[in-house]
Amino acid sequence: MGKHRLYVALTAVLLMLGGYIYHGYAYSVLPQPAYYLLRDMPSPKATDRVLCFSPHPDDETIAAGGYLCLAQRAGAEIRIVLATDGNKHGLKDLRYQEFRRATGILGIPEKNLVFWGYPDGHLRAYCLPLKSRIAWEINNFSPTVVLYPHPADHHPDHAVLGEMVEEVLKEQGYTGKECLACRYLVHHRYFPQPKALARQGYLLPPVAMLSFDQQWLKFPLPAEVLHCKAEAIEQYRTQLRNPFLRPLLHSFIRQNELFARWTP
């Protein structure tokens, strides 16, 4: 009986340990010191043409506001495509105003903003026209840098927009050399960590999203650029009023932004 209890206890401990390891692999992010192991995202140059796809008003700022701000200051050409109307709660006009104010703080002229107006939360129902418009934007703008949502993002609008961007790039023969194609992550169960304001912390990728088809890159933000990004995020008052979204938006005010360079 004593041995049986020992085996049961040992089995329980092993199962708990295995579950803990799996949970840590599946849901945790890299520890903060791993920041210094990530390569840097190349800094934007005056010769760059930066095309940013944003599913909703605010994604461009929380995920890439610092990069866009520095690209504008460097003299790069910038175009931001806003895919949905942000009208899930009847706030389309107000969210568009917030989008214009936030991107204006980042230094992006309003003439560089593109509004597609697809219904918020329903992008997957528009895959064909979405793909066609993405192809047109890429062909028309000839970007050297493309920023877009990660296809593995947990929000369906983010995921489908990322999928369509990569399908278009593949069909155009993209090999990873023609331009810098970088995914950005916003919605993931345990990303960022913590989901709270942590200005001195770093954004790091979930362990489960480390893979050979992408290279995670850090983009350090100078203090004045971080301040500019934080001010831009504060323009999204409709989202900051939501007690669930406020911590998420503020959790992207960190010492760096995070991108995953995609190579097919």
pLDDT value of position 87:
86
pLDDT value of position 187:
97
The reported pTM is 0.89
Whole-angstrom CA distances from 87 to 95, 240, 246 are 8, 16, 18
End-to-end CA distance of the chain: 58
What would the pLDDT profile of 133-168 be if each residue is shown by its tens digit?
A: 999 999 999 999 999 999 999 999 999 999 999 999
pLDDT value of position 88:
82
pLDDT value of position 2:
60
The parts of the chain modelled with pLDDT lower than 50 are 6, 8-26
The correct CATH number of 31-262 out of 3.40.50.450, 3.40.50.10320, 3.55.40.20, 3.40.1410.10 is: 3.40.50.10320
pLDDT value of position 134:
99
pLDDT value of position 8:
41
pLDDT value of position 259:
99
In the chain, domain spans? 31-262
